[in-house]
Amino acid sequence: MTLLPRPQSYAPFLWLLLCLFCLRVLAHLVVVFLDGVAWLPPEEEWLSGVLGYQYLLVSQIVIVLMFGKVCVDFTRGQGYFVTPHRFLASWLPATGLVYLCVMVVRYIIRMSLYSPERWTGVSIPIFFHCVLAFFILIVALHQVRAVRDLPPLRGGWRRWVVRGSVGVLVAAGVLAWLVNSLAPWFMGYYMGLGPPQFSVRAERGVGFTTSTGIELVANVYHPRRAGLTPTILVRVPYTKAFTNAYITDLVSRVWAERGYTVVFQGTRGRGDSGGVYDPLRPERQDGLETLNWLSEQPWFDGRLGMWGGSYFGYTQWVLANEMDPGPSALGIQIASTDFYSMFYPGGAFSLESALHWALTSRPREDVTYTREEMERGVNGFPLIKADDRAIHDIPYFNDWVSHPERDYYWQQIDGEDRIATLQAPVHLMSGWFDPFLPTQLEDFIRIQQEAPSHLANETRLVIGPWAHARTVELPGGVIEENYRTSSISPSVAWFDRHLKGLATKQTAPVRIYVMGDNIWRDEHEWPLARTKYSSYYLDSGGRANTGHGDGKLLLTVPKASNIADTFVYNPLDPVPSRGGAMLGPRAGVQRQNDVERRDDVLVYTTPVLKEDVEVTGPVELVLHISTTAPSTDFTGKLVDLHPDGSAYFVSEGVLRLKPSDLNPDAPTEISIDLWPTSMVFKEGHRIRLEVSSSSYPHFDRNPNTGRDIATETAPIASTQAVSHGNDYPSRLVLPVIPR
């Protein structure tokens, strides 16, 4: 029999480690229950980052009692932990080693990434985790030595299967922990945000109750040992799911590691917040009460930034006029001060955008819908029942459809004049295929013209090749940088400049992505001052809708006095949408060739271009029209015709005409605003215009009756005419940039 060390020889080391751990517990209790203990680190530096203090205290007591039992067994030389056990001998060494290695790696990460933590005090939790790991390893050493003389167990292969399975799970868990620990560093490195500075402490489920009894709940991320820091507030209707929770946690940690306190709050009815989700309408009041709550927090120093896109761009605009407390810098993407015009561009209803929003945004969470559900919704009358046909009745969809005019409903959402009362510079970001683009550009123009110079001069505009929070594939398979990455990457420098007052690299007032050339370019203003607005006049022999018809776009006014192209618009067979600026997966660039073969689409095309033509800015279509309907729509679409005959979407617009807009005795001149764009039509390509009366379901179809569109169930067909020539110079006005 091999002579083994007596169990009592291990006891002094175990008692020493236990005493060290008890000192940790005692010091923690002193910090918590005795105020003004300046010679000990503050409470947050004693927490492990896994358990809250209320749970941590209980777990510490359990650890002390269990490890005390181990020490007593070793002192007596008998007991469960002293008696040889193959189970303990098998698992304790691996447990202790993995535990110790994880703590060592954690220490290395902290010391390497976070310069304020390069001292032992901030690593108190890690030190005492190592104490526990050494305790386990000493017991493991005894057990490994003690089982040497025990007979081997049968069924060894089964034990190895179990050990292997557990080992794989443990390795996967450690790898997941390591990836999660380094994810903010990697994300910051990938986005060029500079190195992290501070480790992060997260408070989860922090909230308050509003004056109406609604509990608004947030997660708060604090940079450790940073003193008082600026705060970034994000108010978002997020779904409480693992993916969303992880992404919000990751972005918050990226900011907090760079010296910002981050408050990520679920809006009413979303996340962990109470109440009923009612899009847009309660956000002004809830936002004001959130600002009041922030002002009462001991960590809030008055410097506040806000960030986010779409809905949580809106939650910024409703607070953009506030001061003390109020935001000092805003980062708003794909949202504007004018939600009415997003829902009703040119007076027509953005059906696919509205139905997409309604189908995805359920009372507590965002969900996906099927293509069949969308098709059921858009196929049928009346318009107001589209949600019922798709899934079920959705009250806020009914509200959007029932208020086609800018009435009290939209006034309470859009406010009075948010640009006039703006109190902070804004970093605006949008995409060429985003439904908010025209109104967001209008916000930028008004800020430049009406806001105080210190706000106007600091406001920035970025427009990329994106749809609404989606990266778009351009013709030729070109895919630019991811939208979501691009929305975060400017944020640190923006907040460093406007919240911390740091000197940062100066950026151009406007940065745009020029499609066709597929390059980013800096500009000084919007629209571009060097723009030459060029009219391309419509011309034909009256057969612009006969497939390969005779529709032309000319740079000179046609000599003929009056020629009209006609088509029949039937609301029961509308022209289908192919891409465009809308919410949902069908946004972006698509081929238009099948659409152009329809008899109810007029097609006008330039000759083959002998040189590149850049079109950057607002696009206008002036038509002289006639109709047999009391009320109808006209649409225009700008298309890039490639040498191989492929016709690709660039931009489109719509105009809804009421009876009072129409002249029954002569063609009526109308002006349709197409989506702004930046597109280089390359040499060898041709510029094309499509004219019709529908693009469905991007826009709802006008039933042509003049009655209430939301409830109409008996649409009628109409004959439409587009006149052009000397007397009626219908034209496409393009913002051409000299090359």
Ordered DSSP codes for 9-41:
GTHHHHHHHHHHHHHHHHHHHHHHHSTT-TTS-
Report yes or no on 484 lying in a domain. yes
Q: Are residues 385 and 420 in the same domain?
A: no
Report yes or no on 21 lying in a domain. yes
Report yes or no on 184 lying in a domain. no
Upper half-sphere CA count for residue 239 (Cβ side, 13 Å)? 12
Cβ atoms of 223 and 256 within 8 Å: the answer is: yes
Report yes or no on 163 lying in a domain. no
Q: Are residues 219 and 297 in the same domain?
A: yes
Cβ atoms of 72 and 2 within 8 Å: the answer is: no
Type of residue at 350: S
* Per-residue three-class SS string for 668-729: EEEEEEEEEEEEEECCCCEEEEEEECCCECCCCCCCCCCCCCCCCCCCCCEEEEEEECCCCC
Cβ neighbours around 491 below 10 Å, total:
22
Report yes or no on 176 lying in a domain. no
Q: Are residues 494 and 536 in the same domain?
A: no
Ordered DSSP codes for 410-443:
HHHHH-S-TTTT--S-EEEEEEEE-TTHHHHHHH
Cβ atoms of 234 and 314 within 8 Å: the answer is: no
Q: What is the spatial distance between Cα 693 and Cα 553, in angstroms, rounded to a whole number?
A: 19
CA torsion angle for 423, 429, 434, 439 (degrees, to 10)?
30
The residue-averaged pLDDT of 581-603 equals 96
Name the helix (H) or strand (E) containing 583.
none
Q: What is the spatial distance between Cα 292 and Cα 294, in angstroms, rounded to a whole number?
A: 5
Q: What is the spatial distance between Cα 357 and Cα 359, in angstroms, rounded to a whole number?
A: 6
By annotation, the residues acting in catalysis are 310, 434, 468
The residue-averaged pLDDT of 676-699 equals 98
Q: Are residues 574 and 443 in the same domain?
A: no
Bridge partners (DSSP) of residue 554 are 537
**Domain encompassing residue 730:** 532-737
**Is the model's pLDDT at 2 over the cut of 60?**
no
CA torsion angle for 167, 171, 173, 174 (degrees, to 10)?
130
CATH of residue 624: 2.60.120.260
**Is the model's pLDDT at 498 over the cut of 60?**
yes
| Token pair recorded at residue 445 | 């123009």
Last residue of a domain, one of 484, 504, 523: 523
Confidence of residue 728 (pLDDT cuts 50, 70, 90): very high
Q: Are residues 326 and 368 in the same domain?
A: no
φ, ψ for residue 411, nearest 5 deg: -65, -40
Q: Are residues 282 and 311 in the same domain?
A: yes
Cβ neighbours around 169 below 10 Å, total:
10
**Is the model's pLDDT at 288 over the cut of 70?**
yes
Tell me if residue 511 falls in helix, strand or coil: strand
pLDDT for the residue numbered 737: 98
Q: What is the spatial distance between Cα 319 and Cα 597, in angstroms, rounded to a whole number?
A: 49
Q: What is the spatial distance between Cα 635 and Cα 589, in angstroms, rounded to a whole number?
A: 17
Output the CA angle 432-434-436, nearest 5 degrees.
Answer: 115
The residue-averaged pLDDT of 415-419 equals 92
Question: Whose CA is closest to 528, among 678, 352, 669?
Answer: 678
Report yes or no on 190 lying in a domain. no
Beta-carbon contacts of 692 under 8 Å, excluding residues fewer than 6 positions away, are: 567, 569, 575, 598, 600, 601, 602, 634, 635, 637
Q: Are residues 379 and 423 in the same domain?
A: no
Ordered DSSP codes for 248-300:
HHHHHHHHHTTT-EEEEEE-TTSTT--S---SSTTHHHHHHHHHHHHHTSTTE
User: Residue holding tokens 């922990």?
Assistant: 177
User: Residue holding tokens 């790991």?
Assistant: 133
Cβ atoms of 608 and 681 within 8 Å: the answer is: no
Confidence of residue 1 (pLDDT cuts 50, 70, 90): very low
Over the stretch 298-319, which tens digit does the pLDDT of each residue have? 999 999 999 999 999 999 999 9
| Token pair recorded at residue 459 | 């406001």
Our count of domains for the chain comes to 4
Question: Whose CA is closest to 403, among 319, 280, 574?
Answer: 280
The residue-averaged pLDDT of 149-162 equals 66
User: Residue holding tokens 């081997």?
Assistant: 152
Ordered DSSP codes for 599-648:
TT-EEEEPPPPSS-EEEEEEEEEEEEEEESSSSEEEEEEEEEE-TTS-EE
**Is the model's pLDDT at 7 over the cut of 70?**
yes
Q: Are residues 517 and 539 in the same domain?
A: no
| Token pair recorded at residue 301 | 């120093």
Report yes or no on 137 lying in a domain. yes
Q: Are residues 259 and 361 in the same domain?
A: no
Type of residue at 340: Y
Report yes or no on 680 lying in a domain. yes
* Per-residue three-class SS string for 638-675: EEEECCCCCEEEEEEEEEEECHHHCCCCCCEEEEEEEE
**Is the model's pLDDT at 181 over the cut of 80?**
yes
The region of weakest confidence among 6-15, 159-168, 247-256, 308-317 is 159-168
Q: Are residues 375 and 436 in the same domain?
A: no
Please tell me what DSSP assigns to residue 366: B
What's this model's pTM, rounded to 2 decimal places?
0.90
Q: Are residues 433 and 302 in the same domain?
A: yes
What is the overall mean pLDDT for the chain?
92
Q: What is the spatial distance between Cα 602 and Cα 538, in angstroms, rounded to a whole number?
A: 10
Confidence of residue 153 (pLDDT cuts 50, 70, 90): low
**Is the model's pLDDT at 439 over the cut of 80?**
yes
Q: What is the spatial distance between Cα 597 and Cα 605, in angstroms, rounded to a whole number?
A: 14
Tell me if residue 447 falls in helix, strand or coil: helix
φ, ψ for residue 208, nearest 5 deg: -150, 165
**Is the model's pLDDT at 49 over the cut of 60?**
no
Where would I find the beta strands (DSSP E) of 540-596? 552-554, 563-569
pLDDT for the residue numbered 155: 58
Beta-carbon contacts of 591 under 8 Å, excluding residues fewer than 6 positions away, are: 578, 646, 647, 648, 649
Over the stretch 663-673, which tens digit does the pLDDT of each residue have? 988 999 999 99
Q: Kindly give the pairing relationship between strand 261-266 and strand 200-209.
A: unpaired
Confidence of residue 50 (pLDDT cuts 50, 70, 90): low
Share of the chain above pLDDT 90, in %: 74
Output the CA angle 445-451-419, nearest 5 degrees.
Answer: 70
Question: Whose CA is closest to 606, among 505, 537, 675?
Answer: 537
Where would I find the beta strands (DSSP E) of 38-116? none
pLDDT for the residue numbered 272: 92
The residue-averaged pLDDT of 538-560 equals 89
Burial label for 289, CB within 10 Å (0-12, 13-18, 19+), is: middle
Over the stretch 199-226, which tens digit does the pLDDT of each residue have? 898 999 999 999 999 999 999 999 988 8
Tell me if residue 406 falls in helix, strand or coil: coil
Q: Are residues 374 and 432 in the same domain?
A: no
State the maximum Cα–Cα separation within the chain, in Å, rounded to a whole number.
117
Last residue of a domain, one of 523, 547, 578: 523
Bridge partners (DSSP) of residue 398 are none
The region of weakest confidence among 55-69, 526-540, 543-557 is 55-69
| Token pair recorded at residue 457 | 């001069």
Over the stretch 86-143, which tens digit does the pLDDT of each residue have? 888 888 999 999 999 999 998 888 888 887 776 655 677 788 889 999 999 999 999 8
